[in-house]
Amino acid sequence: MILRLALGTAEESVQALRERLESAGLRVLRSPEEARPILAVAGKVPEKLAAELRTRAEVAEIVKPSGELLLVARAMRELPSVVDVGGVRIGGGDVVVIAGPCSVEGRELVLEVARKVKDCGAHLLRGGAFKPRTSPYAFQGFGVEGLRQLKDAGEAVGLPVVSEIMDASDLPAFLEHGIDCLQIGARNMQNFTLLKAVARANRPVLLKRGLAATAEEWLYAAEYLFEGGCEQVILCERGIRTFEKATRNTLDLTVLPLLREWSHVPVIVDPAHAAGIARIIPPLARASIAAGADGVAVEVHLNPEEARSDAAQALLPRELLGIVSDARILAAVTGRRLHP
Protein backbone atom coordinates (compact mmCIF):
# COMPACT_ATOMS: atom_id res chain seq x y z
CA MET A 1 0.00 0.00 0.00
CA ILE A 2 1.26 3.46 -0.86
CA LEU A 3 0.21 6.48 1.13
CA ARG A 4 0.56 9.77 -0.67
CA LEU A 5 0.34 12.43 2.03
CA ALA A 6 -0.93 15.95 1.60
CA LEU A 7 1.49 18.47 0.12
CA GLY A 8 3.46 20.05 2.90
CA THR A 9 2.50 17.61 5.64
CA ALA A 10 4.62 18.45 8.66
CA GLU A 11 7.53 16.12 9.31
CA GLU A 12 6.25 15.26 12.76
CA SER A 13 2.92 14.10 11.29
CA VAL A 14 4.83 11.92 8.88
CA GLN A 15 6.79 10.41 11.75
CA ALA A 16 3.66 9.87 13.81
CA LEU A 17 1.99 8.07 10.94
CA ARG A 18 5.09 6.02 10.37
CA GLU A 19 5.17 4.96 14.01
CA ARG A 20 1.51 4.10 13.93
CA LEU A 21 2.17 1.74 11.02
CA GLU A 22 5.34 0.26 12.44
CA SER A 23 3.62 -0.37 15.75
CA ALA A 24 1.24 -2.60 13.77
CA GLY A 25 4.22 -4.68 12.68
CA LEU A 26 4.39 -3.20 9.19
CA ARG A 27 7.52 -2.10 7.40
CA VAL A 28 7.48 1.48 6.15
CA LEU A 29 9.70 2.82 3.38
CA ARG A 30 9.83 6.39 2.19
CA SER A 31 10.11 8.08 -1.16
CA PRO A 32 12.80 10.76 -1.55
CA GLU A 33 10.10 13.21 -2.60
CA GLU A 34 10.35 16.29 -0.41
CA ALA A 35 7.34 18.49 -1.06
CA ARG A 36 4.91 15.60 -0.79
CA PRO A 37 5.82 12.85 1.68
CA ILE A 38 5.02 9.41 0.24
CA LEU A 39 5.18 6.21 2.29
CA ALA A 40 5.24 2.62 1.07
CA VAL A 41 3.89 0.02 3.47
CA ALA A 42 5.15 -3.55 3.07
CA GLY A 43 3.03 -6.36 4.43
CA LYS A 44 -0.66 -6.86 4.79
CA VAL A 45 -2.46 -3.89 6.33
CA PRO A 46 -5.28 -5.12 8.63
CA GLU A 47 -8.68 -3.91 7.48
CA LYS A 48 -9.23 -1.92 10.65
CA LEU A 49 -6.00 -0.01 10.20
CA ALA A 50 -6.78 0.50 6.50
CA ALA A 51 -10.11 2.04 7.48
CA GLU A 52 -8.34 4.36 9.92
CA LEU A 53 -5.88 5.41 7.22
CA ARG A 54 -8.72 6.35 4.91
CA THR A 55 -9.99 8.83 7.49
CA ARG A 56 -6.65 10.44 8.40
CA ALA A 57 -6.44 14.01 7.18
CA GLU A 58 -2.77 13.85 6.19
CA VAL A 59 -3.37 10.90 3.83
CA ALA A 60 -4.24 12.51 0.50
CA GLU A 61 -4.39 9.33 -1.54
CA ILE A 62 -4.05 5.60 -1.01
CA VAL A 63 -2.67 3.63 -3.97
CA LYS A 64 -2.59 -0.16 -4.10
CA PRO A 65 0.11 -1.23 -6.51
CA SER A 66 0.26 -4.68 -8.05
CA GLY A 67 1.56 -7.18 -5.46
CA GLU A 68 4.39 -5.70 -3.43
CA LEU A 69 5.83 -3.49 -6.12
CA LEU A 70 6.20 -0.49 -3.85
CA LEU A 71 9.34 1.60 -4.25
CA VAL A 72 9.34 1.25 -8.04
CA ALA A 73 5.65 2.15 -8.30
CA ARG A 74 4.70 5.21 -10.31
CA ALA A 75 2.80 6.53 -7.30
CA MET A 76 6.00 6.83 -5.26
CA ARG A 77 7.13 9.82 -7.28
CA GLU A 78 5.56 13.02 -8.50
CA LEU A 79 7.53 12.79 -11.75
CA PRO A 80 9.29 9.90 -13.49
CA SER A 81 12.70 9.46 -11.89
CA VAL A 82 15.85 10.72 -13.56
CA VAL A 83 19.16 8.92 -13.13
CA ASP A 84 22.37 10.91 -13.36
CA VAL A 85 25.28 8.85 -14.69
CA GLY A 86 28.39 10.99 -14.53
CA GLY A 87 26.48 14.06 -15.63
CA VAL A 88 24.32 12.31 -18.23
CA ARG A 89 20.66 12.43 -17.28
CA ILE A 90 18.61 9.37 -18.17
CA GLY A 91 14.82 9.66 -18.01
CA GLY A 92 12.68 12.74 -17.56
CA GLY A 93 12.54 13.66 -21.23
CA ASP A 94 16.20 13.20 -22.15
CA VAL A 95 16.97 10.42 -24.61
CA VAL A 96 20.45 8.89 -24.54
CA VAL A 97 22.58 6.60 -26.69
CA ILE A 98 24.95 4.14 -25.01
CA ALA A 99 27.59 2.54 -27.20
CA GLY A 100 30.87 0.70 -27.05
CA PRO A 101 32.47 -2.66 -27.68
CA CYS A 102 30.79 -5.87 -26.49
CA SER A 103 33.97 -6.71 -24.62
CA VAL A 104 37.02 -4.60 -23.82
CA GLU A 105 39.73 -6.20 -25.93
CA GLY A 106 42.79 -4.03 -25.35
CA ARG A 107 43.82 -0.50 -24.40
CA GLU A 108 44.25 0.84 -27.95
CA LEU A 109 41.12 -0.75 -29.30
CA VAL A 110 38.80 0.49 -26.62
CA LEU A 111 40.26 3.98 -26.82
CA GLU A 112 39.78 4.07 -30.54
CA VAL A 113 36.20 2.88 -30.22
CA ALA A 114 35.60 5.41 -27.44
CA ARG A 115 36.73 8.24 -29.72
CA LYS A 116 34.35 7.11 -32.43
CA VAL A 117 31.53 6.71 -29.95
CA LYS A 118 32.11 10.23 -28.69
CA ASP A 119 32.43 11.63 -32.22
CA CYS A 120 29.15 10.03 -33.21
CA GLY A 121 27.43 11.84 -30.37
CA ALA A 122 26.72 8.96 -27.99
CA HIS A 123 26.51 9.77 -24.29
CA LEU A 124 27.86 6.79 -22.41
CA LEU A 125 30.61 4.30 -23.17
CA ARG A 126 29.82 0.67 -22.53
CA GLY A 127 32.20 -2.29 -22.55
CA GLY A 128 32.39 -5.71 -20.92
CA ALA A 129 35.33 -6.64 -18.71
CA PHE A 130 33.63 -9.60 -17.05
CA LYS A 131 31.68 -11.58 -19.64
CA PRO A 132 28.96 -14.10 -18.78
CA ARG A 133 29.51 -16.89 -21.29
CA THR A 134 27.40 -19.97 -21.84
CA SER A 135 30.52 -22.13 -22.28
CA PRO A 136 33.31 -22.26 -19.69
CA TYR A 137 35.79 -22.45 -22.56
CA ALA A 138 34.70 -19.16 -24.18
CA PHE A 139 36.58 -15.87 -23.70
CA GLN A 140 35.59 -14.61 -20.25
CA GLY A 141 36.80 -11.03 -20.53
CA PHE A 142 39.89 -9.15 -19.31
CA GLY A 143 38.53 -8.69 -15.78
CA VAL A 144 39.87 -5.84 -13.66
CA GLU A 145 42.34 -4.84 -16.35
CA GLY A 146 39.37 -4.42 -18.68
CA LEU A 147 37.68 -2.08 -16.19
CA ARG A 148 40.81 0.05 -16.05
CA GLN A 149 41.08 0.26 -19.83
CA LEU A 150 37.41 1.12 -20.19
CA LYS A 151 37.53 3.88 -17.58
CA ASP A 152 40.74 5.33 -19.02
CA ALA A 153 39.16 5.39 -22.47
CA GLY A 154 36.03 7.01 -21.08
CA GLU A 155 38.06 9.70 -19.32
CA ALA A 156 40.22 10.32 -22.36
CA VAL A 157 37.21 11.17 -24.48
CA GLY A 158 34.95 12.54 -21.76
CA LEU A 159 32.29 9.84 -21.49
CA PRO A 160 30.99 8.16 -18.34
CA VAL A 161 31.27 4.35 -18.51
CA VAL A 162 28.99 1.39 -17.84
CA SER A 163 30.13 -2.21 -17.40
CA GLU A 164 28.59 -5.47 -16.25
CA ILE A 165 29.26 -6.79 -12.78
CA MET A 166 28.78 -10.53 -12.32
CA ASP A 167 30.01 -11.07 -8.80
CA ALA A 168 29.60 -9.08 -5.57
CA SER A 169 33.25 -9.72 -4.76
CA ASP A 170 34.25 -7.62 -7.78
CA LEU A 171 32.38 -4.60 -6.45
CA PRO A 172 35.45 -2.93 -4.86
CA ALA A 173 37.23 -3.07 -8.23
CA PHE A 174 34.25 -1.43 -9.97
CA LEU A 175 34.20 1.33 -7.36
CA GLU A 176 37.96 1.82 -7.28
CA HIS A 177 38.11 2.21 -11.03
CA GLY A 178 35.23 4.63 -11.03
CA ILE A 179 32.81 2.68 -13.20
CA ASP A 180 29.96 5.17 -13.42
CA CYS A 181 27.11 2.71 -13.89
CA LEU A 182 26.94 -0.94 -12.83
CA GLN A 183 25.18 -3.24 -15.24
CA ILE A 184 23.33 -6.34 -13.98
CA GLY A 185 23.10 -8.78 -16.89
CA ALA A 186 20.04 -10.68 -18.03
CA ARG A 187 21.22 -13.98 -16.52
CA ASN A 188 21.72 -12.31 -13.14
CA MET A 189 18.43 -10.43 -13.00
CA GLN A 190 17.26 -12.69 -10.18
CA ASN A 191 20.68 -13.20 -8.59
CA PHE A 192 19.36 -11.70 -5.39
CA THR A 193 22.75 -11.83 -3.68
CA LEU A 194 24.23 -9.65 -6.39
CA LEU A 195 21.24 -7.29 -6.36
CA LYS A 196 21.55 -6.75 -2.62
CA ALA A 197 25.31 -6.18 -2.79
CA VAL A 198 25.11 -3.77 -5.71
CA ALA A 199 22.26 -1.86 -4.07
CA ARG A 200 24.58 -0.89 -1.22
CA ALA A 201 27.18 0.63 -3.57
CA ASN A 202 25.27 3.86 -4.13
CA ARG A 203 25.98 3.88 -7.86
CA PRO A 204 23.57 4.01 -10.80
CA VAL A 205 22.53 0.53 -11.87
CA LEU A 206 21.47 -0.65 -15.33
CA LEU A 207 19.21 -3.66 -14.79
CA LYS A 208 18.71 -5.86 -17.81
CA ARG A 209 15.57 -7.91 -18.15
CA GLY A 210 15.99 -11.67 -17.76
CA LEU A 211 15.60 -13.79 -20.89
CA ALA A 212 12.26 -15.13 -19.71
CA ALA A 213 11.37 -12.68 -16.98
CA THR A 214 7.91 -11.17 -16.92
CA ALA A 215 7.74 -7.40 -16.65
CA GLU A 216 6.49 -7.91 -13.11
CA GLU A 217 9.48 -10.04 -12.07
CA TRP A 218 11.78 -7.49 -13.65
CA LEU A 219 10.24 -4.71 -11.58
CA TYR A 220 10.58 -6.90 -8.48
CA ALA A 221 14.31 -7.18 -9.23
CA ALA A 222 14.40 -3.37 -9.37
CA GLU A 223 12.44 -3.32 -6.12
CA TYR A 224 15.29 -5.34 -4.53
CA LEU A 225 17.68 -2.59 -5.59
CA PHE A 226 15.51 0.20 -4.19
CA GLU A 227 14.79 -1.75 -1.03
CA GLY A 228 18.55 -2.22 -0.61
CA GLY A 229 19.14 1.52 -0.76
CA CYS A 230 19.74 2.23 -4.44
CA GLU A 231 17.59 5.02 -5.85
CA GLN A 232 19.30 5.19 -9.26
CA VAL A 233 17.99 2.38 -11.38
CA ILE A 234 17.62 2.17 -15.15
CA LEU A 235 15.77 -0.77 -16.70
CA CYS A 236 17.04 -2.24 -19.95
CA GLU A 237 14.83 -4.34 -22.23
CA ARG A 238 16.93 -6.68 -24.36
CA GLY A 239 14.55 -9.15 -25.93
CA ILE A 240 12.75 -12.15 -24.56
CA ARG A 241 12.94 -15.77 -25.49
CA THR A 242 10.16 -16.96 -27.80
CA PHE A 243 9.55 -19.71 -30.33
CA GLU A 244 10.69 -17.46 -33.20
CA LYS A 245 14.12 -18.55 -34.39
CA ALA A 246 14.74 -16.01 -37.15
CA THR A 247 16.05 -13.52 -34.62
CA ARG A 248 18.11 -14.20 -31.49
CA ASN A 249 15.31 -12.96 -29.24
CA THR A 250 12.09 -10.99 -29.62
CA LEU A 251 12.25 -7.37 -28.49
CA ASP A 252 9.31 -6.74 -26.18
CA LEU A 253 8.36 -3.16 -26.92
CA THR A 254 4.73 -4.01 -26.17
CA VAL A 255 5.42 -3.85 -22.47
CA LEU A 256 7.22 -0.50 -22.62
CA PRO A 257 4.17 1.77 -22.35
CA LEU A 258 2.89 -0.37 -19.47
CA LEU A 259 6.17 0.08 -17.57
CA ARG A 260 5.60 3.84 -17.86
CA GLU A 261 2.27 3.46 -16.08
CA TRP A 262 3.46 1.07 -13.44
CA SER A 263 6.78 2.62 -12.57
CA HIS A 264 8.75 5.86 -12.39
CA VAL A 265 12.00 4.09 -13.37
CA PRO A 266 13.54 5.01 -16.76
CA VAL A 267 13.71 2.29 -19.40
CA ILE A 268 16.19 1.96 -22.21
CA VAL A 269 16.35 -0.70 -24.92
CA ASP A 270 19.23 -2.85 -26.16
CA PRO A 271 18.05 -3.85 -29.64
CA ALA A 272 21.31 -5.63 -30.49
CA HIS A 273 20.90 -8.63 -28.18
CA ALA A 274 17.34 -9.11 -29.40
CA ALA A 275 18.19 -8.89 -33.07
CA GLY A 276 21.51 -10.67 -33.08
CA ILE A 277 22.08 -9.26 -36.58
CA ALA A 278 23.72 -5.86 -36.96
CA ARG A 279 21.91 -4.70 -40.06
CA ILE A 280 18.44 -4.86 -38.50
CA ILE A 281 19.44 -2.90 -35.40
CA PRO A 282 18.86 0.64 -36.76
CA PRO A 283 15.11 0.19 -37.45
CA LEU A 284 14.72 -1.48 -34.06
CA ALA A 285 16.52 1.40 -32.35
CA ARG A 286 14.11 3.78 -34.06
CA ALA A 287 11.14 1.69 -32.98
CA SER A 288 12.38 1.64 -29.39
CA ILE A 289 12.55 5.40 -29.10
CA ALA A 290 9.26 5.81 -30.93
CA ALA A 291 7.71 3.46 -28.36
CA GLY A 292 8.93 5.77 -25.62
CA ALA A 293 12.28 4.35 -24.52
CA ASP A 294 14.59 6.75 -22.67
CA GLY A 295 17.50 5.58 -24.76
CA VAL A 296 19.16 2.74 -26.61
CA ALA A 297 22.31 0.74 -25.98
CA VAL A 298 24.27 -0.76 -28.87
CA GLU A 299 27.57 -2.43 -29.54
CA VAL A 300 30.17 -0.88 -31.80
CA HIS A 301 33.32 -2.40 -33.21
CA LEU A 302 35.80 -1.05 -35.73
CA ASN A 303 36.15 -4.46 -37.35
CA PRO A 304 33.08 -6.41 -36.28
CA GLU A 305 34.30 -9.60 -37.88
CA GLU A 306 37.28 -9.59 -35.47
CA ALA A 307 35.25 -9.08 -32.29
CA ARG A 308 35.86 -11.73 -29.64
CA SER A 309 32.20 -11.89 -28.69
CA ASP A 310 28.88 -11.02 -30.34
CA ALA A 311 30.56 -10.17 -33.63
CA ALA A 312 27.36 -10.58 -35.60
CA GLN A 313 25.58 -7.79 -33.82
CA ALA A 314 28.28 -5.10 -33.64
CA LEU A 315 27.71 -1.89 -35.56
CA LEU A 316 30.21 0.18 -37.49
CA PRO A 317 30.74 3.77 -36.34
CA ARG A 318 28.84 5.15 -39.33
CA GLU A 319 25.86 3.01 -38.37
CA LEU A 320 26.06 4.42 -34.84
CA LEU A 321 26.05 7.91 -36.31
CA GLY A 322 22.76 7.07 -38.02
CA ILE A 323 21.29 5.79 -34.78
CA VAL A 324 22.21 8.97 -32.90
CA SER A 325 20.77 11.04 -35.70
CA ASP A 326 17.55 9.01 -35.72
CA ALA A 327 17.36 9.24 -31.93
CA ARG A 328 17.52 13.02 -32.13
CA ILE A 329 14.61 13.18 -34.55
CA LEU A 330 12.48 10.57 -32.81
CA ALA A 331 13.04 12.14 -29.41
CA ALA A 332 11.73 15.41 -30.84
CA VAL A 333 8.78 13.70 -32.53
CA THR A 334 7.78 12.16 -29.21
CA GLY A 335 8.06 15.41 -27.26
CA ARG A 336 11.50 14.83 -25.79
CA ARG A 337 15.06 15.73 -26.76
CA LEU A 338 18.33 13.98 -27.36
CA HIS A 339 20.49 14.58 -24.30
CA PRO A 340 22.84 17.41 -25.21
128 and 335 in contact (C-beta within 8 Å)?
A: no
Number of residues in contact with a copy of itself under rule CB under 8 A? 75
Give Cα 327 distance to the centre of its chain.
18
256 near a copy of itself, judged by CB under 8 A = yes
325-334 — which CB contacts under 8 Å span 24+ positions? 325/121, 326/282, 326/285, 326/286, 326/289, 327/95, 327/97, 327/285, 327/289, 327/295, 327/296, 330/95, 330/286, 330/289, 330/290, 331/95, 331/289, 333/290, 334/289, 334/290, 334/292
- Per CB under 8 A, the list member of 50, 252, 311, 336 interacting with a copy of itself is 252
Shortest distance in whole angstroms from residue 321 CB to a copy of itself: 16
**Helix or strand or coil: residue 100?**
strand
Shortest distance in whole angstroms from residue 136 CB to a copy of itself: 4
Shortest distance in whole angstroms from residue 86 CB to a copy of itself: 27
Closest CA to 339 of 93, 157, 84: 93
Tell me whether residue 27 or residue 337 sits nearer to a copy of itself (CB atom).
Answer: 27
Stretch near a copy of itself under the rule CB under 8 A, chosen from 99-107, 150-158, 171-179, 208-216: 208-216
314 near a copy of itself, judged by CB under 8 A = no
Stretch near a copy of itself under the rule CB under 8 A, chosen from 6-14, 87-95, 175-183, 254-262: 254-262
- Per CB under 8 A, the list member of 152, 190, 302, 312 interacting with a copy of itself is 190
Q: Residues 51-70: x/- map of binding to a copy of itself (CB under 8 A)? A: ----------------xx-x
Tell me whether residue 9 or residue 263 sits nearer to a copy of itself (CB atom).
Answer: 263
**Helix or strand or coil: residue 237?**
strand
Shortest distance in whole angstroms from residue 42 CB to a copy of itself: 4
Could you write out the DSSP letters of every residue in 305-328? Answer: GG-SS-GGGPBPHHHHHHHHHHHH
Shortest distance in whole angstroms from residue 149 CB to a copy of itself: 22
134 near a copy of itself, judged by CB under 8 A = yes
What residues are paired with 269 via a beta bridge? 237, 296
150 near a copy of itself, judged by CB under 8 A = no
CA distance 95 to 99: 13
CA distance 296 to 101: 14
Torsion of CA 327, 268, 70, 242, to 10 degrees: 130
305 near a copy of itself, judged by CB under 8 A = no
CA distance 255 to 169: 34
Tell me whether residue 6 or residue 287 sits nearer to a copy of itself (CB atom).
Answer: 287
291 near a copy of itself, judged by CB under 8 A = yes
Gyration radius of the chain's alpha carbons = 21
297 near a copy of itself, judged by CB under 8 A = no
Stretch near a copy of itself under the rule CB under 8 A, chosen from 8-16, 17-25, 105-113, 287-295: 287-295
Q: Residues 257-286: x/- map of binding to a copy of itself (CB under 8 A)? A: xx------------x--xx-x-xx--xx-x
- Per CB under 8 A, the list member of 19, 84, 108, 216 interacting with a copy of itself is 216
